[in-house]
Amino acid sequence: MTADESPTSGRYPQLAHRGSSAVIDDELWAAVGDPTRRRVFDLILADGIATATTLSDRLPVTRQAVTKHLAVLDKAGLVHSTPNGREKRYRANAEQVARIAEQLTAVGAAWDRRLTRIKRIAESLENAASTEKNQG
């Protein structure tokens, strides 16, 4: 598997960002980047399954707006839909939720490494300044 392939399928590309060892799926994060869409996804995660109607009843947006948000979540693979009469029932895709957790862990570890390097540089500069002051 290359860095551009997904562990689940070729549908969800992963992108390694320059200067980071973390592999990030931009489409996945763009999908949950919108606050309303994130709330839609949170409700589906909490309830297990939902329709556009049940979601719009709980959110300050129209059913049509919820449907558009669900389409973005579906395109990113975050939800699966099943026809249910005239509506669709949506549930979270467990594989994608696991990928989100893995990516958060990887990004957190990358930032921990960066902060450790910054701390070492700052301490080195402080030690050099202290040594210079003591010699002068």
Position 135 scores a pLDDT of 84
Position 136 scores a pLDDT of 65
> What domains sit in the chain, N to C, each tagged with a CATH number?
15-135 (1.10.10.10)
Mean pLDDT by 10 residues, the chain (136 residues): 39 47 77 95 97 98 98 96 96 93 90 95 92 80
Buried b (16+ CB within 10 A) or exposed e, 56-75: beebeeebebbbebbebbbe
Residue type, 18: R
Position 37 scores a pLDDT of 97
The pTM assigned to this predicted structure is 0.68
Position 73 scores a pLDDT of 97
Position 57 scores a pLDDT of 98
Token digits for 70?
Answer: 């669900």
- The answer to whether the CB of 23 falls within 8 A of the CB of 15 is yes
Q: Which of 111, 94, 95, 101 is CA-nearest to residue 17?
A: 111
